[in-house]
Structures are given as C-alpha cells and as structure tokens.
C-alpha cells in the first residue's frame, strides 16, 4: 500500500526508449515532446524540490508506479517525522516524477542478459538520452534556479532537482545527464552547495542517487560513464548503495559481464574519486565528503531480503533509511 497523499507524475517509454502517450503505444513525435512535457510535468511555483525516479529490472508498469509512490511516501514521512535532521531545508514542497520503461522479458525468470542488452540498445539509439535530456531540459527552462548564497555552504534557494535510479534505471539517468550536459548553452548561475559547479552550465542537477546500480564496478573508469566525472550539469557526487546480498548484481551480473555490479560491492574505480560511508540509521546525521565524486553507501546490514534465484536483495531498498539518505542529500545541496 502507498500513501495516497503522495502524488507521482508518470511518463512512459517504449522498448526503443521513445516517449509514449499515456495508456497507449503511440509514440510522441519529437516536435511534440516540449508540449507533452508541459502538460504532464507542469512545474508548480511553490515546488522546492523535484525528484525524478527511474525504476529497474523486472518491474511492471503498475509496480513501477507503486514503487515510486512507496519510496516518495517514505521521503514525505521522514521529512514530517524528523525535519530537524535536515536543517537547511527550511520548507519542503516536493514534486515527484516517475519514468516507466519495459524492464522484463518473456523469458522467465532469467532475463537479465535480455534486459541488459535492451538498456544498451535503448541508450545507444539515443532515444533514452534524448527523452531524459528533454525532461531535464524542461525543468531547466521552467524552474526558479538556486542562486549563490553567502560564503558558507548554506543559503542558496530555488527549486532543486534530484535524480533517483534503481538497477538499470541508473544507466538511463547517467546517459540522460550526459546528453543534457552536451546540449546546454554556456553561462548562468551556480550554487555554493557542492564543490563542483561549473560556469559553463546555467543550472545543476543537485543530487544523484543510484540504488543498487546495474553497472560494472569499474564503469566510471571507462567511457561513457567516465564523462560524469568531468564538468557537467551534475553539481553533486554520484551516491551509490550496495549490498553483497544483491545476487542479481553478483551472480547474474558476473555471468553476463564478467565482474560484479556496483550494487553488489560498490564502485571500484577511479580510486582517487572514491569514498565509502555506511547507510545511516534515520536518527544519524550524514557528513558527506566534499572532495570525492563517487560515494559508495554500504547497505549490507539492511538490504538483505529476497530469494537468491530472483535477485536476492536487489529491490530491498524501500526503507526509511533510504529516504533519509535522499533527504540528507537534498539538505547538503543547499
């Protein structure tokens, strides 16, 4: 069951990564995408934080909606229960968006390779990157940008943008960020929240959280994902949870890609960019390292439930502690 007070706007993609009209298999023409996004994702003036969620492996459309509701209802709950834990968030009026894509194959239950190949094809075709780039670009043109605050890491205001990916959804988000980076014009404001704002980008993605990312552990040492470490719209570290109980990204990932996935043991390279923290209890405040671009979050004590043959703990991240992580990153972005 989900909290009916937590509203999630939905956008749907087909197996080629093309944007669909709701409840149909009809592709939105490229020239109609801006108007479609304006209708589906109309940004409210009172919004303080925008969260964009992309689900992972073996998730039906109805489950994708339910899981987005579940995660974001936990965010609402944590903010209501312990606002004192996020002192820089002086007001919190979020807007939640869920991206749905066909993440299961007819070959049950071991369709890992088929879906891995689908995400590769969708990304290589450019459709996923274009659609997510368009979504990010829509928010760019419509939101009130956070402005520089005083010479302390607080005080910036405006509408903050946070991306959350699970499993293969992590790949989609990274490609979308790279695409949005490539398309943005020079100039514009930045924010003092993190150490990596760049004057070439007029807006920033203020946090990126990858739950159990289905990426090879050394992905950020090689193209295309190494590009995330360069100057880009991402003015925040890449925060990634992992748990050895995630057998989808251990056993199955190893069989398919000859190494463990990030969600099984964390990112392993480049070493100079890496930091590691435990997933904190909800009553424990985070202090994020401000000189590392890749932060592994060890969730091995909590992400443990699931049957080994169906992926283990790959989807066991719907916990208050996960919402606490998201809110802590939103707090750190200010």
| Residue pair 300/247 in contact by the 8 Å Cβ criterion | no
Q: What is the pLDDT of residue 188?
A: 38
For residue range 99-145, what is the model confidence (pLDDT) as tens digits? 998 877 666 556 667 776 776 666 556 566 666 666 766 776 777 76
Q: How far, in Å, CA of 292 to CA of 277, rounded?
A: 12
Tokens of 272: 């100079």
Q: What does the domain layout of the chain look like in residue ranges?
A: 8-332
Taking alpha carbons only, the member of 164, 198, 163 closest to residue 184 is 198
Burial of 243 (0-12, 13-18, 19+ CB in 10 A): buried
| Distance separating alpha carbons of residues 317 and 196, to the nearest angstrom | 28
Residues in Cβ contact with 64 at an 8 Å cutoff, skipping those fewer than 6 apart: 55, 98, 100, 103
Nearest to 175 by CA among 215, 115, 143, 142: 215
pLDDT means per 10 residues in the chain (334 residues)? 74 84 89 84 86 87 93 97 94 93 68 69 61 69 62 54 92 80 51 57 79 96 93 89 93 81 96 98 96 97 84 93 98 90
Sort residue 201 into left (φ over 0), alpha (ψ -120 to 50) or beta. beta
Separation CA 80–CA 334 (nearest Å): 19
pTM: 0.88
pLDDT value, residue 155: 40
Query: What local confidence, expressed as pLDDT, does residue 200 receive?
Result: 58
Per-residue model confidence (pLDDT) at position 201: 55
Task: Report DSSP letters for 224-273, one per residue.
Answer: TGGGGGSSSSB-S-EEEEE-TT--IIIIIHHHHHSS-BHHHH-----GGG
What is the reported pLDDT for 127?
61
Q: What are phi and psi of 161, to 5 degrees?
A: -115, 125
């Amino acid at each position: 069951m989900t909290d009916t007070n937590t509203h999630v706007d939905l956008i749907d993609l087909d197996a080629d990564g093309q944007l669909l009209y709701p409840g149909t298999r009809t592709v939105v023409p490229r020239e109609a995408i801006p108007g479609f996004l304006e209708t589906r994702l109309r940004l409210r003036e009172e919004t303080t934080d925008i969260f964009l969620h992309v689900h992972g492996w073996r998730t039906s459309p109805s489950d994708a909606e339910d899981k987005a509701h579940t995660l974001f209802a936990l965010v609402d709950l944590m903010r209501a229960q312990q606002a004192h834990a996020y002192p820089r968030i002086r007001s919190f009026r979020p807007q939640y968006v869920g991206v749905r894509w066909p993440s299961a194959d007819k070959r049950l239950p071991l369709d890992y390779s088929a879906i891995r190949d689908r995400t590769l094809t969708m990304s290589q075709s450019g459709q996923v990157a274009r659609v997510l780039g368009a979504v990010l670009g829509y928010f760019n043109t419509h939101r009130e940008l956070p402005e520089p605050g005083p010479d302390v890491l607080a005080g910036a205001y405006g509408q903050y943008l946070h991306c959350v990916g699970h499993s293969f959804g992590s790949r989609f988000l990274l490609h979308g960020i790279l695409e949005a980076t490539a398309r943005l014009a020079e100039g514009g404001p930045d924010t003092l929240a993190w150490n990596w704002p760049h004057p070439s980008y007029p807006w920033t993605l203020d946090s990126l959280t990858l739950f159990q990312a289905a990426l090879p552990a050394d992905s950020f040492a090689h193209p295309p994902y190494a590009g995330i470490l360069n100057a880009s719209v991402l003015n925040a570290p890449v925060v990634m949870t992992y748990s050895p109980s995630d057998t989808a990204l251990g056993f199955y990932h190893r069989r398919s890609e000859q190494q463990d996935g990030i969600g099984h043991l964390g990112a392993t390279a480049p070493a100079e960019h890496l930091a590691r923290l435990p997933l904190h209890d909800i009553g424990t405040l985070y202090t994020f390292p401000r000189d590392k671009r890749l932060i592994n979050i060890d969730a091995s004590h909590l992400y443990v439930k699931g049957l080994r043959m169906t992926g283990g703990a790959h989807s066991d991240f719907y916990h208050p502690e996960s919402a606490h992580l998201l809110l802590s990153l939103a707090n750190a972005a200010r």
